[in-house]
């Protein structure tokens, strides 16, 4: 195989700290209802499909049809309480620091209380990965770090990560943390390419942090074509026809192709769509394909 034919899509499992996870993860942003049986079927299917990272947050439940802060965690907790064997099959992740009306709090008192509340809602003794959801710019990183290290020492969380942090904010937090930062959750899709050039993914590769991509299909707009460049939709469709998959599989394959070993977090509430998403693991995208998608997305030729 020549370099021109090399498939950049990396479908191998990823490492999150010392835990292995699937190349695709399941995001609980839209997991909102009172139907525990339906949620159980969805979570079980995601796990069976290899989406072993189950990502939640305490604020999930205030949109996508939800009605309350913590609703998604409570529903997932009901699933785990009724099906305790599922807990051992997943790497359970949650996040804290967004408090509507404030809106960000990452001081020690709040994080300790928020983590305890998440554990209660999730009906779990510990959270495998706990991430600061958004940086609180008016809490010193030393205090945030001390709170996270304290939660690790207490056995309430196993691993620490951040979400929506800039590289500089990561450096500041890492300077005070004893626990390693194992993850960075950021917005990344073929139509949202900022982290390719703002040092975010470069920092992940430098430090060994696993990048987690939220909204990898731009909330479904990449699939529907809504508010997307026509050239991007056409480029995705051409590759999808070549690979005999749908548009979503190519868009997810684009993320899987980055050498940082990024994990797209898929939030669909349809088991059929979760199953279809796994086709991304088998597509072939060459370097030429990837750069053509970037040019189609940005609407300008690369220099």
**Tell me: domain 13-228+259-270, CATH 3.20.20.100, correct?**
yes
pLDDT at 264: 98
Q: Please give the Cα distance from 74 to 90 (Å, whole number).
A: 17
At 168, list the tokens. Answer: 């500089």
Question: How do beta strands 53-55 and 91-96 pair?
Answer: parallel
Digit-coded pLDDT (tens) for 195-234: 999 999 999 999 999 999 999 999 999 999 999 999 999 9
Other beta carbons within 10 angstroms of residue 234's beta carbon come to: 12
**Length of the chain counted residue by residue:** 303
Question: How do beta strands 210-214 and 263-266 pair?
Answer: parallel
Q: Please give the Cα distance from 203 to 260 (Å, whole number).
A: 9
Beta carbons of 151 and 157 less than 8 angstroms apart: yes
List Cβ neighbours of 118 (8 Å cut-off, separation of 6 or more).
Answer: 58, 70, 73, 94, 96, 127, 130
Choosing from 60, 110, 130, 165, which is the catalytic residue? 60
* pTM of this structure: 0.96
Radius of gyration, alpha carbons of the chain? 19
Can you tell me whether residue 17 is helix, strand or coil? Answer: coil
State residue 189 phi and psi, 5-degree precision: -155, 175
Residue with tokens 């390419």: 193
Give yes or no: 176 in active site: no
Q: Please give the Cα distance from 46 to 239 (Å, whole number).
A: 26
- Please say if the pLDDT value at position 64 is more than 90: no
Digit-coded pLDDT (tens) for 136-184: 999 999 999 999 999 999 999 999 999 999 999 999 999 999 999 999 9
Q: What value does the mean pLDDT take over residues 88-107? A: 97
Q: Strand runs (DSSP E) across the chain, as ranges?
A: 14-16, 19-21, 25-27, 53-55, 91-96, 127-132, 157-163, 181-187, 210-214, 263-266
Question: How do beta strands 14-16 and 19-21 pair?
Answer: antiparallel
- Please say if the pLDDT value at position 67 is more than 90: no
Beta carbons of 257 and 268 less than 8 angstroms apart: no
By C-alpha distance, which of 56, 99, 63 is closest to 80?
56
Query: Nearest 5 degrees, angle CA 41-CA 47-CA 48?
Result: 85
* Averaged pLDDT of the chain: 97
């Amino acid at each position: 195989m020549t370099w021109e034919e090399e498939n950049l899509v990396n479908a191998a499992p990823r490492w999150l700290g010392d835990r292995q996870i699937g190349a695709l993860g399941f995001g609980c942003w839209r997991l909102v209802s009172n139907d525990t049986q339906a949620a159980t079927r969805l979570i079980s299917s995601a796990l069976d499909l290899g989406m072993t990272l189950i990502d939640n947050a305490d604020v999930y439940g205030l949109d996508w049809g939800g009605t309350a802060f913590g609703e998604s965690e409570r529903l997932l907790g009901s699933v785990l309480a009724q099906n305790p064997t599922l807990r051992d099959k997943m790497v359970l992740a949650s996040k804290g620091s967004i408090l509507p009306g404030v809106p960000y709090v990452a001081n020690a008192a709040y994080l300790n209380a928020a983590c305890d509340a998440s554990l209660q809602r999730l009906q779990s003794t510990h959270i495998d990965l706990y991430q600061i959801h958004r940086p609180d710019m008016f809490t010193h990183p030393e205090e945030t770090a001390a709170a996270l290290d304290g939660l690790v020492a207490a056995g309430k969380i196993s691993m620490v990560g951040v979400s929506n942090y800039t590289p500089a904010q990561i450096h500041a937090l890492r300077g005070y943390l004893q626990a390693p930062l194992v993850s960075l959750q950021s917005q990344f899709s073929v139509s949202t390419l900022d982290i390719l050039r703002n040092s975010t993914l470069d920092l992940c590769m430098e430090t060994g942090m696993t990048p987690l991509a939220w909204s990898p299909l731009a909330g479904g707009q990449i699939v529907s074509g809504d508010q997307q460049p026509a050239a991007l939709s056409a480029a995705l469709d051409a590759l999808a026809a070549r690979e005999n998959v749908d548009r979503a599989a190519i868009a997810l394959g684009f993320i899987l192709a980055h050498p940082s070993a990024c994990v797209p977090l898929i939030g669909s509430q349809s088991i059929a769509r979760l199953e279809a998403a796994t086709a991304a693991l088998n597509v072939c995208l060459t370097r030429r394909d990837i750069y053509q998608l970037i040019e189609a997305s940005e609407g300008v030729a690369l220099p």
